[in-house]
Structure 1
């Protein structure tokens, strides 16, 4: 019997293969039969045939105990010997041994359980040796009882051996299939564990705090960066957001249902949500959070992943830089105002020689440029979108006309044809000074980067909005840089080497327009020109 079939009967018993139980059961039945015969009619026990059969049974039993502790297929010799012993017993006078044929079932089951059809066939063949030839009467007539026994003994053995053989083969097939599945499952589990360990190592290696929650809000993942952060350590989602989150101004509490984890657990996705963690007056930490949802197999909400970066140092550095820029700009503005004032007095003085006036024009041009740089720096440092706007009814056409008039001198010096297209008043509720600064920056850039070209400023109104379009025929902006032109201190590669500046004008203008609830769109073709379109709500 193979190892798989042996395992089909169970594990080893006291070190013996389980099929040894067939022989032990056979021996037990033989012993009981001997006891019954000894009590009722001991005559068959004294025959030579019975003695030989008992010796064969004893040899078979010893072999089963020896071979049963090994994996040898020679163990199948034991049921064959059992069948031979039963055949010999049938040679005892017929009146006493006809019931012994039933014992052939035990070796037949064993041989059938081997799963080998020819062993099952051998059991049937051996059972034919137990046919009772003396069953015929002395007159040559067939005795019905003996005839049925002669038929039923091999028939029962055949059925037992065949059915057991089929069951064994099916059991072996199932066991082999289960073993294969078990190995495949074990391999898949090892791969899954390896993948899980690798993913855990990757998640722990990133310099971003990562939290994952299931659909019920239970935290299922937190990498080392998250667990080590002072604002997240040992905190559950409720504790993390219960009155401890504040807006970028660091004092306005974030509503409980607007916290980044609360929003993520509602299935919302967002990026770069900046909040401050910690009460005002205590150590606060700035967190930039992003969230992405997880879907189950049916496409339903299955959880969320929140990624957080500690941007405290970054924001505090920005704030320190802005304070420094504002301080320096204020210190520069005062003496510059004096220079410009005295310069205007000199330009109005008729006693100034004509030979000096070109030099005064150079001083005036550079002073105004310096004034513009300082204004941009101040606007950037103070973040124009933060303070409240002083809205008033403003004629945007008139405002743009003032800007064009102020820059006419600079445009003429660069041989730029500066034109205003505003045929009628266009009124909007805006902060006049801030919007003028925004438009002034756009037109100044167009003049600066479009020498000996055209700059057209067009004002239009429609459907509750006001549009100001500044178009030039200058050097243009590369297409792959358009998305970055509104960033602070960013300067396109086409202007860096030939035009001085800080890269603040468009950024300041975009911030002012955004504070009004408007938009800035930039379209450009390199070496053909740029068009900046500002759209503001009329109310």
Structure 2
């Protein structure tokens, strides 16, 4: 069905042309309006236009719209009665309309109708041969025009239908591809192995849920405030940004089951095995890499527990075995043993020796290393390493971080545990300080000679009630919960335990709306005192 808007458009274009012609006739040859047929033709066009705008075409059959070009053709026929004007060219409008929207018989019928109006209403000056020539010229011209437009319209409709079918096929293919992609994503997210695709520029293209949970990423891929940190060993040194797993993969390094230690945002150690695999890219020359990260923490812990259990059992077996073998040797030295007793003691001694060899072998295979003592740690280096890891997040929040005070402040302790404390305190400062805020870290010696490290911010702060509960497990302020700030409420308690284990003191001072200051104090000992 021809849409109503299309009918309006065609008729209004035709009417606009007639109005322009009427204006020109009024300006240059107003006596033309003395011809009643010319006036009747113009009036018929106006009435037809008003009727076109008023008729509800969507309720009528498709062929009803053919009445409009036929009425326009009749009106043009009226205007051809003016002897000095050649308005017959306006028949192009109804012919093109019929050729565009109706079949060829309608076009030929329209041309016949136009020929009839030419014979009836047109000025018949001249010889019969001239009149016949004008008629044939009009019929041939309009017929050629109508057939050409009709063929073009048919081809246009065929091309449109073909494009529509292809568009539908493409849409169905896209829907199938999207469905398959969604299924693949679901399968990949269900895997326990962490997967991430990284470009040569270090940009993450895709990751699964296991990677997000492992490295502390949100569903958009952005790092959370409590993001995980990679280390070169358990309780070792934090890996520099350019040596992290993603950076190495982006540079094209080949990794095969390489061990990486991760300290996640929840304060747990995770042992990872990392492998890389080049992937095909959409454009030639682009390099993308698939990073496969397997969390083997449970396997290592099970192995450690097995070794510990084996060592305990072996040690517990060695003591009674030593007693048994020793007493058997004493009995074997006696001369008053009855008949078969020496032989039986020999069997017991041989079995004890074999058992002792087995226990010794187990101890050799599963001997554990003793816990390392505290070593000299420069708090300035720990602070700067922690600050460097949070620098991108601080920059993104438009915050300012300054480190002031002593260039070196050495104490004895566990560098990894101290870094854990600093990471937790800086994370809190970043989370609770608004954009544009300031975070200051100062190092120096306190009045009593202890090493002092303080972290202060001008963030939200806490009231007295919340401040008194800051070290309680799982405690979080109501304002933080309402604001949706992430956290577990365990960090400050863990930090205090670590500080206490270093014989230090942690003090928190805060004022609501002003900010928070956390002060750490550690004893500074001499090497001899530590070794003693």
Task: Report TM bin, short chain.
Answer: 0.5 to 0.7
Q: How does 1:117-516 map to 2 (within 5 A)?
A: 117-129=104-116, 130=118, 134=124, 136-137=126-127, 142-143=129-130, 149-229=134-214, 244-247=230-233, 250-251=235-236, 259-267=244-252, 270=255, 272-278=257-263, 284-296=269-281, 302-343=287-328, 352-382=337-367
Alpha-carbon distance in structure 1 between the residues aligned to 2:222 and 2:337: 75
> Who is 1:64 aligned against?
52
Partner residue of 1:18?
9
Q: Deviation digits for residues 212-251 of structure 1, max 9, x if unmatched?
A: 2134320122334433336667887xx9899x4214x653
Match of 1:87 in 2: 77
Change in CA separation of 1:61 and 1:283 when aligned onto 2, cut-off 3 Å: closer
Contact 2:310 2:362 in 1 (8 A): yes
* Equivalences, count: 359
Return the offset for 1:29.
5.2
Is the contact between residue 318 and residue 359 of structure 2 (CA under 8 Å) also seen in structure 1?
yes
Aligned residue for 2:149, secondary structure, equals helix
- The match for 2:90 among 78, 87, 103 is 103
Unpaired stretches in structure 2, ≥5 consecutive residues: 370-532
Q: TM-score, normalised by structure 1?
A: 0.54
Q: Quick check: 1:115–1:168 contact (8 Å CA) kept in 2?
A: no
Superimposed CA distance per residue, residues 167-193 of structure 1 (whole angstroms, 9 cap, x where no aligned partner): 322332333334334444444444444
CA distance in 1, matches of 2:251, 2:366: 37
- Distance in 1 between the 2:323 and 2:240 partners? 49
Query: How far apart in 2 are the matches of 1:199 and 1:24?
Result: 60
Summarize deviations over 1:353-388 as a string: whole Å, max 9, x none: 55224423432443244224323432442389xxxx
The C-alpha deviation readout for 1:13-63, integer Å capped at 9, x for no partner, is 8xx643233442354256347636861444423xxx446545643453233
Q: Which residue of 2 aligns with 1:443?
A: none
- Residue 259 of structure 1: CA displacement? 4.9
Counterpart for residue 113 of structure 1: 100
Given the superposition, is the C-alpha separation of residues 175 and 235 from structure 1 closer, same or farther in structure 2, using an over 3 Å criterion?
A: closer
Following superposition, the deviation at residue 103 of structure 1 comes to 1.4
CA distance in 1, matches of 2:181, 2:365: 47
| Offset at residue 107 of structure 1 (A) | 0.9
User: Which whole-Å CA distance do the structure 1 matches of 2:368 and 2:165 have between them?
Assistant: 68
Separation of aligned partners in 2, 1:235 and 1:112 = 60
1:39 aligns with 2:30: yes
Using the TM superposition, give the Cα deviation of residue 108 of structure 1 relative to its aligned residue in structure 2, in angstroms.
1.2
Matched position secondary structure for 2:236 = coil
The whole-number CA distance in structure 2 between the counterparts of 1:346 and 1:300 is: 83
Distance 1:66 1:283 in 2: 77
- Paired residues of 2:232 and 2:238 also in contact (CA < 8 A): yes
Distance 2:286 2:339 in 1: 79
CA positional deviation for 1:195: 4.0
- Show structure 1 runs of 5+ residues with no match: 7-11, 385-539
Distance 1:369 1:250, change over 3 A: farther
Indicate conservation of the 8 Å contact 1:111/1:119, yes or no: yes
1 CA distance for matches of 2:20 and 2:150? 23
SS in 2 for 1:288: strand
State the alpha-carbon separation in 2 of the partners of residues 322 and 231 from structure 1.
32
TM-score when normalising by structure 2: 0.55
Q: In the alignment, does 2:67 pair up with 1:77? A: yes
Cα shift readout 1:46-87 (whole Å, capped 9, x = no counterpart)? xxx446545643453233223475375211211112223333
Q: 1:303 to 1:207 in 2, by over 3 A?
A: same
* C-alpha contact 2:260 2:273 (8 A) present in aligned 1: yes
Mapped partners of 1:41, 1:54: distance in 2 = 12
Is this contact kept in 2: 1:340–1:364, CA < 8 A? yes
Contact kept in structure 1, 2:18 and 2:42, CA below 8 Å: no
Displacement of 1:113 in angstroms is 1.5
Q: Distance in 2 between matches of 1:376 and 1:288?
A: 30
CA RMSD of aligned residues (A): 4.2
1:177 and 1:115 map into 2 onto residues whose CA distance is: 20
* Mapped contact 2:275–2:292 kept (Cα < 8 A): yes
User: Using a 3 Å threshold, how does the CA distance of structure 1 residues 67 and 164 change in structure 2: closer, same or farther?
Assistant: farther
